[in-house]
Amino acid sequence: MAFLHDIYHRQEIVRAGRLPAEMVARNDAFEPRMIGMEPPGGVYTHVVGIDLVRTGEDEFHVLEDNVRTPSGVSYMLENRETMLQMFPELFTQNRVKPVSHYPQALRRSLAACAPKGTAGEPVVAVLTPGLYNSAYYEHSFLADKMGVELVEGDDLRVVDGRLAMRTTEGYKSIDVLYRRVDDAFLDPLTFNPESRLGVPGLFDVYRAGRVTLANAPGTGIADDKAIYSYMPEIVRFYTGEAPLLRNVPTWRCSNPQELSHVLAHLDELVVKEVHGSGGYGMLIGPAASRAELAAFRAKLMANPGNYIAQPTLALSTVPVLTRAGLAPRHVDLRPYVLVSPEGVTITPGGLTRVALKAGSLVVNSSQGGGTKDTWVLED
């Protein structure tokens, strides 16, 4: 949060020479309209998902930060519910901490971020792109569990300088909008004029401090994969301390020398688009064919600034039941963090994502990955 506040205000980290100015100014995730703005409660990232991997005994790395619209928490809740129904004795025997409170914790955390002057209980709503979005189930699931309205752009309008949703009794003001719509589609008057998913005039209401958007627009610069390579230095700059968890070593293909290394070792590395997500636009060198390597080499040479590269990690494994019996499969872990003016809450569980194909390192559900229940035990 300190990083985002600085980037959209004085940019001290740039002035100090700890982060190149072009990494901000030329970053597609940087939102100039947020410069000088103070989000309600000073919170930019209300919901955070951090992808962690284990590569050896007591060796943990942060693989990615997800601070735009992190998803997957419904799988965490549904996995737990399924396990509780099938194996209730395991939870009493092992004193597993519950995760069922997450939706209400999310609602309280969002409500705590309501704009100043909000009267009574803040009105929270979830904005979804609609039924055909791949994460629509999660949007409707969370809205239902929180006891708030699930809305689409057509349900909303700006009324008397406030964001309001249509009801059977007229329009009702919204104080906090948990938006699961990307920045570019939030407001056709401010961002993409072709968008039919957002609300005309929404950003003006936000800029006036009359609604909270969770997460704030422009937060994507904090999970940009090129910025990720500077994260250890960013942590040191704002805290004066070394990070407790290590980053994965990263080569920035925008640097000619580092690009040369990547091209020379392409069949050994994992290459990612800096704004990519869901496992799309990624190359896993050791698993790629000659044709795939050649095609990706051409992409790198045509637009090197769009990519970073990392070593292929030996991710830890867990047992998975296959048709042939139990077999190891690679996993990562995404804990969920809630942030409000009242503090930071780490959910005692998380989304363990598993690569279902033997030998695969791709755990993303969009690429055929699965999930597992994740236990945190009582002390």
237 and 273 in a common domain = no
Q: What is the mean pLDDT of residues 167-182?
A: 97
Same domain for 102 and 123: yes
Q: What is the dihedral of CA 355, 356, 359, 364, to 10 degrees?
A: -30
Q: What sections of the chain are H helices per DSSP?
A: 2-7, 12-15, 21-25, 73-86, 88-94, 102-111, 136-146, 202-207, 225-228, 231-239, 256-264, 290-302
Residue 366: is its pLDDT beyond 80? no
Residues 95, 79: one domain? yes
- 255 and 368 fall within a common domain: no
pLDDT for 192 equals: 97
Assess if residue 345 is contained within a domain: yes
Mean pLDDT of 283-303: 95
> Do 195 and 128 form a contact (C-beta atoms < 8 A)?
no
User: Does any domain span residue 194?
Assistant: yes
Residue 377 lies in a domain: no
Q: Is the pLDDT of residue 318 over 90?
A: yes
130 lies in the same domain as 265: no
Q: Is the pLDDT of residue 280 over 80?
A: no
Segment 140-153, tens digit of pLDDT? 999 999 999 999 99
- The answer on 275 and 161 residing in a single domain is no
Phi-psi region of 11 (alpha: psi -120 to 50; beta: other; left: phi over 0): left
Within a domain: residue 379?
no
Instruction: Give mean pLDDT, residues 343-360.
Output: 94
Q: Which domain-ending residue is among 290, 311, 332?
A: 311
Of 311, 337, 360, which residue sits at a domain end?
311
Residues pairing with 353 in the sheet:
332, 371
- Give pLDDT, residue 278: 65
> Does residue 145 fall inside a structural domain?
yes
Q: In terms of domains, do 131 and 209 share one?
A: yes
The CATH number assigned to the domain holding 278 equals 3.30.1490.270
Secondary structure class of 106 (helix, strand, coil): helix
What's the confidence (pLDDT) of residue 279? 66
Q: Are residues 199 and 276 in the same domain?
A: no
What mean pLDDT is reported for the chain?
Answer: 95
Count how many domains the chain has: 2
260 and 349 assigned to the same domain: no
- 10 Å CB burial of residue 363 (0-12, 13-18, 19+) is buried
The verdict on residue 142 lying in a domain is: yes
100 shares its domain with 82 = yes
* Rounded-to-integer distance, Cα 167 and Cα 92, Å: 44
Output the CA torsion sign for 232, 215, 110, 129.
negative
pLDDT on residue 159: 97
Mean pLDDT of 197-222: 98
The contacts of residue 298 (CB under 8 Å, 6+ apart) are: none
Report whether 45 contacts 65 (CB < 8 A): no
**Tell me, what DSSP letter sits at residue 108?**
H
| Residue 153 and residue 40 share a domain | yes
Q: Is residue 207 part of a domain?
A: yes
The last residue of a domain, from among 264, 292, 311: 311
Task: Give pLDDT, residue 154.
Answer: 97
d(CA 364, CA 1): 26
Say yes or no: 79 and 210 in one domain. yes
Give me the domain span that covers residue 360: 2-242+316-372
In contact, 4 and 223? CB cutoff 8 Å: no
81-130: pLDDT as tens digits: 999 999 999 998 999 999 999 999 999 999 999 999 998 999 999 999 99
Residue 378 lies in a domain: no
Residue of 130, 225, 219, 212 lying closest to 183 (CA atoms): 219
**pLDDT-wise least confident of 21-25, 131-135, 156-160, 357-361:** 357-361
Euclidean distance between CA atoms 187 and 200, whole angstroms:
5
3-state secondary structure of 273: strand
